[in-house]
Structure 1
Amino acid sequence: MGAKMHETIDDLIDAVMEREGGYVDHPADRGGPTRWGITEAVARTHGWRGSMRQFPRDEAVAIYRRLYWYRPGLEAVAARAPRLAAELFDTGVNMGPPVAAGFLQRALNALNRGATDYPDLTLDGRIGPATLAAIDAFLATRRAVGEAVLLKAIDGLQGERYIALAERRPANEAFLYGWLAQRIGEPA
């Protein structure tokens, strides 16, 4: 994602909404109509009853903040590693917060040198005290470059998942280039 360390949750939400655009109803998208990147199902779950064409921006902002930042605990990650929190937010928006947290946990487990730096994590897709302690231990051991290494690992897992989605469902090939292009800051 290339997030800058000074980005706030407001900046991250603005970037997602700019990338996602307004109303979209792509025939190959199983998620159906979206506006600001929020699916109709998510909007309905959060009380929206109107047409997705009129789904308000402020409602989308509130959903991004609540579901994709605070609920998964990314403010605690941001206090330790802001670029990592930004990446997890972006990944969570695209794949769901449990998937993003799972990528983080897998990367931390693979990078703990056989559990000598910190214990292996249970892959539960939740950022709780054990995951935060592992981030702390990893960053203390690996210093400044550690965050960049975690970002690279998460990007690799995300890219593999996008390709697997396209392989399993050929209609997803319509989205693959855009999914991967956003990883390097290119327009889809």
Structure 2
Amino acid sequence: MDVDNLIDEVIGREGGYSNHPADKGGATRWGVTEAVARAHGYRGNMRSYPREEATAVYRRIYWLRPGFDRVAEHAPRIAAELFDTGVNMGPGVAVGFLQRALNALNRGASDYADLAVDRRIGGRTIEALKAFIARRGAAGEAVLLKAIEALQGERYLRLAEERPANEAFLYGWLANRLG
């Protein structure tokens, strides 16, 4: 799995500069919000935020820090989905989706113990993922991916229902982030 390709895909989807009035994230460039850029030392105008800095933020904050590189060693398609979901919803949310799906798919804890949904990739989450893949194989990875996307889709719908301004983004979220 090439994380550079994943980052390029996200940047391609996110596009250049944006400052949509309904977006609580405010000004963004390459999908990186101004708050995140500032937290990582950028002081300039967001219209000029360099792609190289965005790439570094994506790698560090949305791939390595949450441990998606560790997931990729066992389930590359799951890691790619977690990365994309983490960029859009936050890495902790993405990890929570993985943990919830693994819990629901463990056949009453007969394949592996339930996980605490702590929204962090740790040894127990990796071991559960490995056990799931060993038991279910490539077909299982596809089903796990569907479960994660189902949770993601439900969250998008809930966000639009709870904050009508998010309806401006719902179509794009569903069209570009699922499947």
Pairwise TM-score range, normalised by the shorter structure: over 0.9
**What's the C-alpha RMSD, in Å, of the aligned pairs?**
0.8
Which amino acid in the other structure matches residue 119 of structure 1?
A
Counterparts of residues 60-79 of structure 1 (less than 5 Å): 60-79=54-73
Which amino acid in the other structure matches residue 121 of structure 1?
L
Over 2 Å off, 4+ runs? none
- Determine helix, strand or coil for the equivalent of 2:73: helix
Give the CA deviation at 1:183: 3.1
Count the aligned residue pairs.
179
Deviations 1:88-127 (A, max 9, x none): 0000001000000000000000000111100000000001
Q: Does 1:54 align with 2:48?
A: yes
Q: Does 1:17 align with 2:6?
A: no
Give the CA deviation at 1:143: 1.4
| 1:108 paired residue number | 102
1:179 to 170, 173, 179: 173
2:155 to 148, 157, 161: 161
Gaps of 5+ in 2: none
Which amino acid in the other structure matches residue 11 of structure 2?
M
TM-score using structure 1 length:
0.94
Gaps of 5+ in 1: 1-6
Q: Percent identity?
A: 71
